[in-house]
Amino acid sequence: PETTMGYSFEECSATAEWLLSQTKIRPLVGIVCGSGLGGLAEMLKDQTAFKYSDIPNFPQSTVHGHAGRLVFGMLKGKACVCMQGRFHLYEGYPIQKVTMPMRIFKLLGVETVILTNAAGGLNQDYKVGDVMIIKDHINMPGFAGNNPLAGPNDERFGVRFPSMSDAYDRELLQLAQCVGAELGFGDFLREGVYCVLGGPSFETIAECRMMNRLGADAVGMSTVHEVIVARHCGMRVFALSLITNQAVMDYDSQEKANHEEVLETGQLRAEQLEKLVTNMVTHIEHN
């Protein structure tokens, strides 16, 4: 039956084994680059890079600003694998396809996942260019039954009913705060709740007000599904949002969200984000 949507344990294993046969790098850290933040992948030394289209069973990326490569390499002496470009629900993929790379990470031997994204600020104290460490999420599509773990559960990945109260690793969050402070990023480093929507349309004013009142500090179209699948199979998770624009909360505002602004703000902070993630990676301990 079509129950596993073509991303069964066996198929994921075949993809992981193919990748491991093509590179000597054995990554313990997996990184996902958000919109406009693909520069992180360029920092890897001794690279082996694969176009998504060349990887067996791998989905293809379609969005502007997403290169669509899986890059293996060394970041300050630590073996990493980096997704340069990710998959989104709004591209029309089944949710299992969007999150399939997390299972590939797991089967490659990755223990820690670092995810980045571009997000709209809902918290009125936030400014464009702020970096929000994600401490928790609100999974709006999940409320409606659109969860990447829906369907038969394969125990080889994880349990049927995984907890999510511990989704965002406390130690990594602390580490990011320490590393951020050392780098002098205290002025723009925040900690908050990320709310995911399906997209691709941006939010209405009423929707932004609603999410803000429900406790969300930032809104975006990614990351949460990947976090759920990464936690399900037991990887540690750290995630951060670059606040690329303020969500419109006011009927008098002339502002409106657009993708160009998202990419421009990405360029503005890219270098600092790269430093933050790189320095974090050097401090992450593995078993």
Catalytic residues: 35, 66, 88, 90-91, 118, 221-222, 245, 259
Residue 245 interacting with ligand 6GU (CB under 6 A): yes
Residue from 172, 176, 262, 280 that binds ligand 6GU (CB under 6 A)? 262
Q: In terms of DSSP bridges, do strands 236-246 and 131-139 run parallel, antiparallel, or are they unpaired?
A: antiparallel
Per-residue x/- track, 95-124, ligand 6GU (CB under 6 A): -----------------------xxx----
CA distances from 218 to 59, 119, 247, 258 (A): 27, 6, 8, 16
Judged by beta carbon, residue 73 or residue 266, the one nearer ligand 6GU is 266
- Which residue has tokens 């205290």? 186
**Burial label, 261 (beta-carbon count in 10 A; 0-12, 13-18, 19+):** middle
Residue 257 interacting with ligand 6GU (CB under 6 A): yes
Judged by beta carbon, residue 131 or residue 221, the one nearer ligand 6GU is 221
Residues that contact ligand 6GU, how many (by CB under 6 A)? 15
Q: How far apart are the first and last CA of the chain?
A: 38
Residue from 38, 101, 141, 220 that binds ligand 6GU (CB under 6 A)? 220
Helix, strand, coil tally for the chain in percent (to 5): 35, 25, 40
**Burial label, 135 (beta-carbon count in 10 A; 0-12, 13-18, 19+):** middle
Residue 199 interacting with ligand 6GU (CB under 6 A): yes
Residues lying near ligand 6GU in the complex (CB under 6 A) are found at 118-120, 197, 199, 202-203, 219-221, 244-245, 247, 257, 262
